[in-house]
Structure 1
């Protein structure tokens, strides 16, 4: 009886792990396609963001709802590539019922290695991004230099009183 119970537990754990792996594959595919859409300046990129979705860029003024982001990014999408982000590593998590998914990722970008995090909700058989935040990954060893550059920059022209 103990071995039957143990076998059932192992089977259940195995199926749960496969479900998690399956979800991760779906999320990876969705987010990788989203990044690829930007890399090839495909406007469908914005369709993957929820209408009420938020995109936060690397600059402190960059916080947009989807349609604001689309308007801001329009000039970038007129070329062959808007920007190219390639995932180096991604971690995926989900709510118990799988209706909400969040992830964090390291990205190879034209800005060097960046970090990002996102929140997605299920939309039918797919997802939509409700929140995405991109950050430049600053090595701790140069953090002091970067902080000084930012402080010096912000001290000029009233930058700290940005309207955003």
Structure 2
């Protein structure tokens, strides 16, 4: 057998035996409803600045926002968001669609979603851990959904912005 083909076959076998391949081919509908209710409730907690929003993020959980500087642990994210909570108005995300996948034992869930937000349509992905008493957000990443036809213009605008000297605050 060709060495490259053998290596590719071994890599494919490793991928097919990993956790993604072991996800339910057809996720359990009742469990998916439970996941959707949790994520929708989490988004609603933010829209209404309920403290439960942060309680639903694992202590070591990570939230990645739309700006390249926005990579936070739960407590860093909570500190950043404090002004929003203090004025009683944060962000409002509503799922347009969501795909949910889970490990066979339902201990981990991963999902992707398209959202209606104050920034327009966004996309996000997340990982939840099932504690047996509920879910915790282990990882969430939010991004702007930029049409491909606009990418070149956005890339130029970002490069121009980043080339400016930093202003003192």
TM-score bracket, shorter-length normalisation: 0.7 to 0.9
1:76 Cα deviation from its structure 2 partner: 0.6
Q: Does 1:95 find its partner at 2:103?
A: yes
Structure 1 counterpart SS, 2:59: strand
Alignment match, 2:117 = 109
Alignment match, 2:4 = none
Q: Which of 130, 140, 150 is matched with 2:148 structurally?
A: 140
Q: State the aligned residue count.
A: 144
Alignment match, 2:7 = none
Unaligned runs of 5+ in 2: 1-23
Alignment match, 2:159 = 151
Alignment match, 2:52 = 44
User: Which of the two has greater helix per residue?
Assistant: 1
Give deviations 1:109-161, integer Å, cap 9, x for gaps: 000000000000011231000000000000011111111111111111269xx
Unaligned runs of 5+ in 1: 1-15, 160-164
Structure 1 length-normalised TM: 0.83
Distance 2:28 2:123 in 1: 23
1:81 Cα deviation from its structure 2 partner: 2.3
Q: Does 1:123 find its partner at 2:143?
A: no
Moved over 2 A (4+): 16-19
1:17 Cα deviation from its structure 2 partner: 8.7
Distance 1:111 1:102 in 2: 24
Residue pair 2:49, 2:88 contacting (<8 A) in 1 also: yes
Distance 2:89 2:161 in 1: 29
Aligned-pair Cα RMSD in Å: 1.7
Alignment of 1:60-99 (within 5 A): 60-99=68-107
